[in-house]
Chains A and B, each alone.
Chain A
Amino acid sequence: MADVGILAATKAAQHPIHTLLDGPRGAKPKKKLSRGNIIVYGTLFVFAMYYALPLYVMIVTSLKGMPEVRMGNIFAPPLEVTFQPWVKAWSEACTGINCDGLSRGFWNSVTILIPSVILSVAIASVNGYALSMWKFRGSEVFFTILMIGAFIPYQIMLYPIVILLREAGLYGSLTGLVLVHVAFGMPINTLLFRNYFSSIPEELFKAARVDGAGFWAIFFKIIMPMSLPIFVVALIIQVTGIWNDFLFGVTYISSPDAYPMTVQLNNIVNSVQGVKEYNVNMAATLLTGLVPLAIYFASGKLFVRGIAAGAVKG
Chain B
Amino acid sequence: MTITQTRPGEGQGGAVRRPSRLFRNMSAKVAMLPLIFTAVVIFLGGTLWTVLYSFTGSGLLPRLEWVGLEQYERLWGTRKWIVSIQNLALFGFFSLIGTLVIGFILAALLDRKIRGEAVFRSIFLYPFALSFIVTGLVWQWILNPEFGLQSVVRELGWSTFTFDPLNNPSIVMYGLLIAGLWQGTGLIMCIMLAGLRGIDEDIWKAARVDGIGTVKTYVRIIIPMMRPVFVTALVLIAAGIVKLYDLVVAQTSGGPGISSEVPAKYVMNTMFGGQNLGQGFAASTMMLVMVVIILIPWAYLEFGGKKNG
Where chain B touches its partner, the secondary structure class is helix
Contact of B25 among A136, A148, A269, A297 (CB under 8 A): A136
Per-residue CB contact flags for chain A residues 67-101 toward chain B (1 = under 8 Å, else 0) read: 00110011100000000000000000000000000
The answer to whether the Cβ of A174 comes within 8 Å of any Cβ in the partner chain is: no
Stretch in A7-15, A201-209, A306-314 touching the partner:
A306-314
Is A159's CB under 8 angstroms from B281's CB? yes
* Contact present for B34 and A155 (CB under 8 Å): no
- Contact present for B194 and A312 (CB under 8 Å): yes
What is the minimal beta-carbon distance from A3 to any residue of chain B, in angstroms?
A: 47
Q: Is B174 an interface residue (CB 8 A)?
A: no
Nearest residue (CB) in A for B148 is: A74
Tell me which residues across on chain A come within 8 A of B47, comparing CB atoms.
Answer: 149, 152, 156-157
Say yes or no for B245: interface residue by CB 8 A criterion: yes
Beta-carbon contact of B36 and A142 below 8 Å? yes
Q: Mark A47-63, 1 if CB is under 8 A from B, else 0.
A: 11011111101100100
Stretch at the interface among B5-13, B73-81, B163-171, B236-244: B236-244
A146 and B50 CA atoms in complex are apart in Å by: 17
Judge if B40 is at the interface, Cβ distance under 8 Å: yes
Question: Is the Cβ of A285 less than 8 Å from the Cβ of B138?
Answer: yes
Contacts of B20 in A (CB 8 A): none
Closest to A214 in B: B27
Q: Is the CB of B126 within 8 A of A127?
A: no
Alpha-carbon distance between A240 and B137 when the two chains are bound, in angstroms: 18
A230 near B: Cβ within 8 Å? no
Q: How far is the CA of A44 from the CA of B29 in the complex (A)?
A: 51
Q: Are B43 and A155 in contact (CB under 8 A)?
A: no
Q: Which residue of B lies closest to A309 (CB)?
A: B194
CA–CA, A311 to B236, complex, Å? 8
Within 8 Å of chain B (Cβ to Cβ): is A278?
yes
> What does DSSP make chain A's interface, helix, strand, loop or mixed?
helix
Cβ of B87 under 8 Å from chain A: no
B187 within 8 A of A: yes
Nearest-CB distance from B198 to chain A (Å)? Answer: 9
Task: Pick the interface stretch among B63-71, B105-113, B202-210, B216-224.
Answer: B105-113
CA distance A275 to B126 in the complex (A): 31
How many angstroms from the CA of A303 to the CA of B124 in the assembled complex?
13
Nearest CB on A from B131, distance (A): 3
Checking B62, B131, B287 against A262 with a beta-carbon cut-off of 8 angstroms, the contacting residue is B131
Are the C-beta atoms of A246 and B133 separated by less than 8 Å? Answer: yes
Contact assessment for A136 and B28 in the assembled complex, using a CB-CB cutoff below 8 Å: yes
- Verify B147–A244 contact, CB threshold 8 A: no
B120 at the interface (CB under 8 A from A): yes
Q: Does A232 contact B (CB under 8 A)?
A: no
Interface residues on B, range: 35 or more
Q: Residue on B with the closest CB to A39?
A: B109
Question: Is A270 in contact with chain B by the CB < 8 A criterion?
Answer: yes
Is B60 close to A, CB under 8 A? no
Q: Which A residue's beta carbon lies closest to that of B49?
A: A160
A226 beta carbon closer than 8 Å to chain B: no
Does B249 make an interface contact (CB < 8 A)? yes
B152 at the interface (CB under 8 A from A): yes
Q: What residues of B have a CB within 8 angstroms of the CB of A69 in the complex?
A: 147
Output the residue of B129, B214, B235, B264 with the most chain A CB within 10 A.
B129
Give CA–CA (A304, B188) in the complex, Å: 11
Once A265-B134, A292-B129 are accepted as A-B contacts, the answer to whether A281 and B141 lie under 8 Å apart by CB is yes
B153 to chain A, nearest CB (A): 9
Flag whether A107 is at the interface (Cβ < 8 A). Answer: no
Instruction: Select one of A55, A129, A159, A190 contacting B271, CB under 8 A.
Output: A159
7 A-B interface contacts by CB (under 8 A): A47-B124, A127-B32, A129-B31, A153-B243, A157-B42, A161-B46, A245-B131
Residues in A lying within 8 Å of B, measured CB to CB: 36, 40-41, 43-44, 47-48, 50-55, 57-58, 61, 69-70, 73-75, 123, 126-127, 129-131, 134, 136, 139, 142-143, 145-146, 148-149, 151-161, 163-164, 182-183, 186, 190, 214-216, 240, 243-247, 251, 262-263, 265-266, 269-270, 278, 281-282, 285, 288-289, 292-293, 295-297, 300, 303-304, 307-308, 311-312, 314
